[in-house]
């Protein structure tokens, strides 16, 4: 997985921390505090290392440039929301690219490749595409709860809703996803 490929120890040596402008050290502290959880969520959403790296970098660049470098009141909430929005944008772009590329007819050799692997990848991409189409409040609960592995209490706090509402939103999202995935399977 991603966290095995990247050594966080290099990022957190004290010399590097001290070299950063004092007004921006809170960003490095946020990376250290929430980076692992953020990578886990991004990995579950995006499914490949390069996209996870890109989304992670984009998220912290957004944080660094948030309102001219001012620290947001809820750093963790900002990080997870920015990361999930970045990941959704990347998924949407992938869907567009896939549609353009799918217009070319596949060769006979390509059709003989391992069908199980293709089916699993297709199912995964369809699920990610369906998650990207959910209404924002439902999508955010799914991203934070299922992909980010946060508790309902944390999801509720980040989104500014009650725990019960977070549970209801997740239930509705799962029902919608099941309906959409069943429709795609029958087509």
Q: Specify whether the CB–CB gap between 95 and 132 falls below 8 A.
A: yes
Pick 134 or 109 by higher pLDDT: 134
Axis crossing angle, helix 152-159 with helix 163-186, rounded to the nearest 10: 100
Q: What CA–CA distance (Å, rounded) separates 182 from 145? A: 23
Q: Average pLDDT, stretch 165-174?
A: 94
Helices (H) and strands (E) in the chain, counts: 10, 0
Answer whether residue 4 shows pLDDT above 50. no
| CATH code, 108-187 | 1.10.10.10
DSSP 154-170: HHHHHHTS-HHHHHHHH
Range of lowest pLDDT (3-12, 26-35, 154-163)? 3-12
3-state secondary structure 65-115: CCCCCCCCCCHHHHHHHHHHHHHHHHHHHHHHHHHHHCCCCCCHHHHCCCH
Domain ranges (residues) in the chain: 1-104, 108-187
pTM over 0.75: no
Q: What is the pLDDT of residue 6?
A: 43
Neighbours of 60 (CB within 10 A): 20
Encode burial over 74-89: b for 16+ CB neighbours within 10 A, e otherwise.
ebbbbbbbbbbbbbbe
Q: Specify whether the CB–CB gap between 134 and 142 falls below 8 A.
A: yes
Confidence of residue 110 (pLDDT cuts 50, 70, 90): low
Range of lowest pLDDT (42-46, 97-101, 149-153, 160-164)? 97-101
Pick 107 or 100 by higher pLDDT: 100
* Residue of 14, 25, 100 lying closest to 69 (CA atoms): 25
Confidence of residue 96 (pLDDT cuts 50, 70, 90): confident
**By CB neighbour count within 10 A (0-12 exposed, 13-18 middle, 19+ buried), where does 173 fall?**
buried
Answer whether residue 109 shows pLDDT above 70. no
Q: What CA–CA distance (Å, rounded) separates 169 from 138? A: 5
Q: Hey, what CATH topology would domain 1-104 get?
A: Rna Polymerase Sigma Factor; Chain: A (1.10.1740)
Identify the DSSP state of 24: G
Q: What is the pLDDT of residue 166?
A: 95
Q: Average pLDDT, stretch 126-149?
A: 89
Most confident of 9-13, 60-64, 161-165, 177-181: 161-165
Q: Which residue has the tokens 């997740």?
A: 170
């Amino acid at each position: 997985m991603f966290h095995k490929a990247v050594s966080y120890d290099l990022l957190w040596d004290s010399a590097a921390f001290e070299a950063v402008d004092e007004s921006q050290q809170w960003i490095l502290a946020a990376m250290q505090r929430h980076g692992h959880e953020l990578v886990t969520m991004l990995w579950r959403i995006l499914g490949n290392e390069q996209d996870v790296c890109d989304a992670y970098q984009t998220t912290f660049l957004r944080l660094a440039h948030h309102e001219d470098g001012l620290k947001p009141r809820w750093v963790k909430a900002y990080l997870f929301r920015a990361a999930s929005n970045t990941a959704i944008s990347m998924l949407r772009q992938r869907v567009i690219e896939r549609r353009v590329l799918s217009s070319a007819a596949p060769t006979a050799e390509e059709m003989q490749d391992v069908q199980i692997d293709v089916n699993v990848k297709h199912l995964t991409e369809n699920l990610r595409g369906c998650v990207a189409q959910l209404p924002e409040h439902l999508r955010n609960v799914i991203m934070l709860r299922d992909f980010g592995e946060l508790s309902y209490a944390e999801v509720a706090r980040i989104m500014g809703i009650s725990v019960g509402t977070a549970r209801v939103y997740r239930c509705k999202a799962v029902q919608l996803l099941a309906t959409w995935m069943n429709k795609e399977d029958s087509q």
